[in-house]
Structures are given as C-alpha cells and as structure tokens.
Amino acid sequence: MKKRYLIAPGPTPVPIEVLSEGIIDIPHHRSEEFVQFAGEVFEKLKYLFQTKNKVFTFASSGTGAMESAVSNLLSPGDKAIVLVSGKFGERWNEICQAFNVETVVLESEWGDTVPLERIEKAIDENPDAKVLLTTHSETSTGTVIDLKAIGEMTKDKDIVLVTDAISSLLAQELRMDEWNIDVVVSASQKGVMLPPGLGFITMNEKAWNLVENSSSPRYYFDLRTYAKKYPESPYTPAINLIFQLKKAVEMIEEEGIEKIWERHRILADAVRAGVRSLKLELLSKKPGNVCTAVKVPNGVDGLEFVRRLRRKYGVTVAGGQGKLKGKIFRIAHLGYMGSFDVIIALSSVEMCLKEMGYDVDLGVSVKTAEEIFLKEGVV
C-alpha cells in the first residue's frame, strides 16, 4: 500500500462530502426539478466570483471557458492585447491565433509580470484593441498580477478586461464587480474543490455587447444559446458534478470567502518561508497564494526529483512546464488544503532532496512552517 498525497495546483483534493454527492440516481436534465436545482446552484456561483452577473457553466475544462471568451468576444481580424508571463498566457495567444484574432503580445520573464505602465502604453497605442487578455494567477510560475490596478486602468476605456481565474478563484482575492473586471473564466478542479469537468464564464454588460457582434465560428460555446436557455443547459450538463458543486459551494459559503483567501495566504506564507529556510530559491518575483514555484538546486535532477517524490514518497507536486521543465517544482496550497498538507509537502521535499545529494538540515522547513502556523493560526 502506498498512501498518496495530491499537492499539485490542479486537479486538487476533493472533500469526501463533495465526492459522495455525485453518487446519485441520475435525474433527467430537462426535468423541471433538475432545472430549478441547477438554477439555484448557478445562482450561488456569483458569490465565488463576487459578481451580480450570471455565471455560465460548461461541461468542459477551463480551456473550454477560455476558448468561449475568445470566440464570443472577438471576430476574425480583431485585435487583442495579451499578457504573456508563462504557459497560460501563451495559451490565450494560441487560442487567439486559432480564431484569427490579431494579438499584441506583452511579454515578461516567466516568474515576473508585465509592468502596469507597459500595459497602459499598449492600450493607448492600440485604440482598436477590443480586449485585454490576462492571467490572474499564472500557475506555471506561481505568480499573481495586480488585477485590481488593471481594472482601475481599463474601467473607463473602450477595452474589455478578461481574466483567467482558473487557478486563482478562491485562492486569491478577486472581486469581479468592485474591481471592474469585465469577464472572468474559471474551472472546477482547483479552488472550487471539485473533480475536473466544469468550466465557468461570467461577464458584464460591457463585454456582452461584443458577444452580440462577434462573427467568429462558435457552436457549443456560443454564449447566446446559454443565455437564452439559462439556467437550463442547451446541451447535456455534467449532472453529477452540479450536485457536487452544490455541496462545495455550501462549504465555501460556510467558511466565508474572506477566510478562504486568508487560509490560502497563510498556507502560502508557510510554504514560502519553509522553502527559503532550506536555502532554496523561489522562481517568482510576485509569488501568489495558489502554488509556490521553487528552483531545483544545482546538482539535483529536477525531473527525477518530482518523479521520486511521487513514486517513493507518494507525494505529487507539479514539475515545471514548457521552458521551465526540469528547472522548478511547484508545491500547491490550493483548494481543500490545510496546514498539514504543507507539513507533508515540506517534509517530503526535505527528505527527497537530501536523498538526492542536496545539503539539508532535516526538519528545518517543517519547523519554520510550524512556527508560522502557531503564530498565524492552524488552518
């Protein structure tokens, strides 16, 4: 027997109370009872996004929700400004290319963010750009952008601000309406504590005007169809996941969104301090509360390290993606996680690094994290 611990930034662990809600005699999705039930659950989703706007739910992963944003907001030949600081910023750009949308790409080093002045300058220089595509938490580098400041910048401009909150939702403070974020996309398998399979998109009036006018090809993700039928789904919804979603949202309501943001902040602080106490370096210049990206120390094979952690220790952290493959590992503090997930992560990292030749004083990072939890609270 090998006990397994999932400490990756998605999919994340699912509470047994949520999982068990999926074991049901499947109702028909066109029945009045189910449509009413789903409507009540979708209504509750507004709290997660801190919005009054309707939240549309697809049977898809997060990338489907990203694609729906591009195909509904932009037409072929339209221009979008894209912030690229990692793999998921790159994905926005790739989706735009698939839909023949012209992009102005603002790049930064992976682990950093595009400076606000550069964004402002690009908006001023490209008055024809219809949309600004951003990644709230760049999961590939563990970096968070200042979305509130960007919302402040775009609110009175003729550009629609879209953010990928696929990993940030619930882990990172996000107030869609108050911060003037026009479109937010997310997914079920991270902060929401569900299995993979639901994609979410929500938008305000400013963005909705673009949806009515887009000439991009779209069918499954045509938001006009979802809006017309809402809360009934135009196609077969992921019925069991919607039952699980109800339970997850109730747990979220019970804990309270501010407390959830704070729990993620404490977990992230403990991981960051623990990692630093091992004289390891963080990749990110603006680390967020979703996951901590740690540079693999010299002399250690990064791919083998992540593999060995999983196979021998039963601990799954994430490796590096794209150009960071083998160079970093990422410890998640996302969703259904608490203080002792951090302890397991740090303890296994210490042991595995020591085994692979890195000079570790065993217990140092665990002690550092324990001290933070005693001071800030065990969460």
Placement of tokens 């998921």 in the chain: 88
On whether the CB atoms of residues 22 and 241 are closer than 8 A, the answer is yes
Placement of tokens 């990749």 in the chain: 283
Nearest residue (beta carbon) to ligand PMP: 62
- The phi-psi region of residue 79 (left if phi > 0; otherwise alpha if psi is between -120 and 50; otherwise beta) is beta
Stretch that binds ligand PMP, among 111-119, 159-167, 210-218, 336-344 (CB under 6 A): 159-167
167 is an interface residue for ligand PMP by CB under 6 A? yes
Give the C-alpha separation, 193 to 200, whole Å.
Answer: 14
90 is an interface residue for ligand PMP by CB under 6 A? no
Minimum distance, C-beta of residue 144 to ligand PMP, in the bound complex (Å): 11
**Residue of 88, 110, 226, 336 interacting with ligand PMP (CB under 6 A):** 88
For 288, the token pair is 């967020």
Stretch that binds ligand PMP, among 152-160, 161-169, 246-254, 353-361 (CB under 6 A): 161-169
62 is an interface residue for ligand PMP by CB under 6 A? yes
Site size toward ligand PMP (CB under 6 A) is 12
Stretch that binds ligand PMP, among 74-82, 142-150, 160-168, 293-301 (CB under 6 A): 160-168
Q: For the CA atoms of the chain, what is the radius of gyration?
A: 21
Using DSSP, state whether 209 is helix, strand or coil: helix
Q: How many CA atoms lie within 13 A of 355 on its CB side?
A: 13
For 302, the token pair is 């990064």
On whether the CB atoms of residues 309 and 365 are closer than 8 A, the answer is no
Using DSSP, state whether 75 is helix, strand or coil: coil
Nearer to ligand PMP, 64 or 297 (CB): 64
Placement of tokens 């109370």 in the chain: 17
Residues between 6 and 45 that touch ligand PMP (CB under 6 A): 10
Give the C-alpha separation, 317 to 16, whole Å.
Answer: 21
284 is an interface residue for ligand PMP by CB under 6 A? no
113 is an interface residue for ligand PMP by CB under 6 A? no
Stretch that binds ligand PMP, among 25-33, 55-63, 262-270, 276-284 (CB under 6 A): 55-63
166 is an interface residue for ligand PMP by CB under 6 A? yes
Q: How many CA atoms lie within 13 A of 300 on its CB side?
A: 27
* DSSP-assigned beta bridge partners for residue 276: none
Nearer to ligand PMP, 143 or 348 (CB): 143
187 is an interface residue for ligand PMP by CB under 6 A? yes
Task: Tell me the residue ranges of DSSP E strands in 175-245.
Answer: 183-187, 198-203
Minimum distance, C-beta of residue 295 to ligand PMP, in the bound complex (Å): 20
Minimum distance, C-beta of residue 43 to ligand PMP, in the bound complex (Å): 23
Stretch that binds ligand PMP, among 18-26, 59-67, 118-126, 237-245 (CB under 6 A): 59-67
Q: Binding residues for ligand PMP, per CB under 6 A?
A: 10, 61-63, 88, 135, 137, 139, 164, 166-167, 187
